[in-house]
Structure 1
Amino acid sequence: MTASILTAPDRADHVLTRAVLVDDHQLLAQSLALALGFEGIECTVADLSDRAALVREVVDGPPAVVLLDLDLGDPVGDGGELVAPFVTAGCRVLVVSGSTDVEQVCRALEAGAVGVIGKDSPFDRLLEAALAVARGEQVLTGDERQALLDQARRLRSAREQALAPFERLSAREGEVLRALAGGKSVGHIAMTSFVSEATVRSQVRAILTKLGVSSQLEAVAAAHRHQWLRSSR
Structure 2
Amino acid sequence: MTQPTSRSQIKVVIIEDHVLFAESLELALSVEGYDVKRVELPLNGTTPSSILASVIRQAPRIVLLDLDLGHFGDGLRFVGPLATAGINVVVVTANPDKVRWGEALRYGARTVRSKSNPLNEILAVVRRLGNGQPVMEVEERESLLRLWHQRNAELAELQAKIDRLTPRESQVLGRLMEGMTVHDIAAASVVSEATVRTQVKAILAKLEVTSQIAAVGLAHHVGWHPAAEPGTPRSSR
Shift of 1:130: 2.5
Give the alignment partner of residue 185 of structure 1, picking from 139, 161, 181.
181
What corresponds to 2:199 in structure 1? Answer: 203
User: Matched residue of 2:23: which SS?
Assistant: helix
Question: Partner of 2:213: helix, strand, or coil?
Answer: helix
Are 2:32 and 1:39 equivalent residues in the alignment? Answer: yes
Aligned partner of 1:55 in structure 2 is 52
Structure number with the bigger relative contact order (C-alpha 8 A, sep ≥ 6) is: 1
Contact 1:63–1:90 under 8 Å retained in 2: no
- Structure 2 counterpart of 1:207, which letter? I
Q: Alignment RMSD, CA only?
A: 2.4
TM value normalised by structure 1: 0.80
Listed as ranges, the gaps of 5+ residues in structure 2 are 227-237
Deviations along 1:6-53, one digit per CA (max 9) or x if unpaired, are: xxxxxxx96761111111111111110111112222222212342122
Distance 1:83 1:222, change over 3 A: closer
Structure 1 residue ranges (4+ consecutive) displaced by more than 4 angstroms after TM superposition:
13-16
Matched-pair contact (CA < 8 Å) for 1:103–1:156: no
- Does the alignment pair 1:117 with 2:119? no
Most deviating of 25-34 and 201-210 = 201-210
Match of 1:18 in 2: 11
| Separation in structure 2 between the aligned mates of residue 80 and residue 55 of structure 1, nearest angstrom | 12
TM-score in terms of structure 2 length? 0.79
- CA offset at residue 203 of structure 1? 2.6
Indicate the SS of the match to 2:140.
Answer: helix
Cross-structure match for 1:165: 161
Q: What is the rounded CA distance, in whole Å, between the counterparts of 1:79 and 1:175 in structure 2? A: 33
Tell me how far apart the structure 1 counterparts of residues 89 and 109 of structure 2 sit (CA, whole Å): 5
Report SS of the residue matched to 2:70.
coil
Residues 217 and 154 (structure 1 numbering): CA distance in 2 closer, same or farther, change over 3 Å?
closer
Distance across 2 between alignment mates of 1:39 and 1:31: 13
Q: CA deviation at 1:118?
A: 0.8
Shift of 1:86: 0.9
User: Is the deviation greater in 199-208 or in 118-127?
Assistant: 199-208
C-alpha distance in 2, partners of 1:19/1:171?
51
Q: Residues 98-125 of structure 1: CA distance to partner in whole angstroms, max 9, x if unpaired?
A: 2222222122111111111111101111
Give SS of 1:60's match: helix
Q: Shift of the alpha carbon at 1:162?
A: 3.9
Shift of 1:61: 1.1
Bigger mean CA deviation after superposition, 194-203 or 109-118: 194-203
2:102–2:141 CA contact under 8 A, matched in 1 = no
- The answer on whether the counterparts of 2:65 and 2:91 sit within 8 Å (CA) in structure 1 is yes
Question: What's the secondary structure of 2:99's corresponding residue?
Answer: helix
Counterpart check, 1:139 vs 2:139: no
1:104 partnered with 2:97:
no
Structure 2 SS opposite 1:196: coil
Name which of 57, 60, 64 aligns with 2:61. 64
**How many angstroms apart in 1 are the aligned matches of 2:86 and 2:18?**
25
Name the structure 2 match of 1:130: 126
1:179 deviates by 2.1
Over residues 139-177 of structure 1, what are the superposed CA-to-partner deviations in whole Å (9 max), with x where a residue is unaligned?
A: 223233223222322233234334432221234423322
User: How far apart, CA to CA, are the structure 1 residues paired with 2:211 and 2:187?
Assistant: 21
